[in-house]
Amino acid sequence: MRVSLAVFELEVDGRVLGSSTRAVALGARTVALSTAVPGLALDLHTTYLGAAGPGTHAAHLVLSRELSAHHQLDHPAGELSLDVDREALVLDHAATLQAAAETAAGAVVLLRVDDACLEELLRRGVAPSARGPGGKVPRAS
């Protein structure tokens, strides 16, 4: 299922910028997140690929007027898991978004996460495999 929500709010020099984030689970071991920040002409596309054992591979693509970059990271098993902690994937995406927004804005960017939208994104935009006992999405500690 794909869903688009205003999970992140960014603040640059006292100016509040909205965003729209889409999430889609592509099978049990792949999650894609895409965030657009129109006020900065910034897009971030992240794909997480997991496998039992070796860990999770993250690929981030940043597109803006000031920056076009792609970087990949391999997270060791247990560090960033598609099986247990889908919220950590969204927060990892948020950290990359904040860094890209600071580059695009040329200033410090405050990033806020709307908890209700985050919960909805996890509930509707992430595969059922992320659900723990009783159908609840596991929370990060």
Q: Which pLDDT score, from 0 to 100, does residue 34 have?
A: 94
Q: Which of 5, 6, 11 is nearest to 111 (CA)?
A: 11
Q: Which pLDDT score, from 0 to 100, does residue 104 have?
A: 92
132: which residues sit within 8 A by CB, 6+ positions away? 84, 138
Residue whose entry in the numeric block shows the structure tokens 């992320």 = 130
Q: Which pLDDT score, from 0 to 100, does residue 139 have?
A: 46
Q: Which pLDDT score, from 0 to 100, does residue 2 have?
A: 58
Q: Which pLDDT score, from 0 to 100, does residue 101 have?
A: 94
Mean pLDDT by 10 residues, the chain (141 residues): 75 93 85 94 93 81 85 78 77 93 94 86 60 42 37
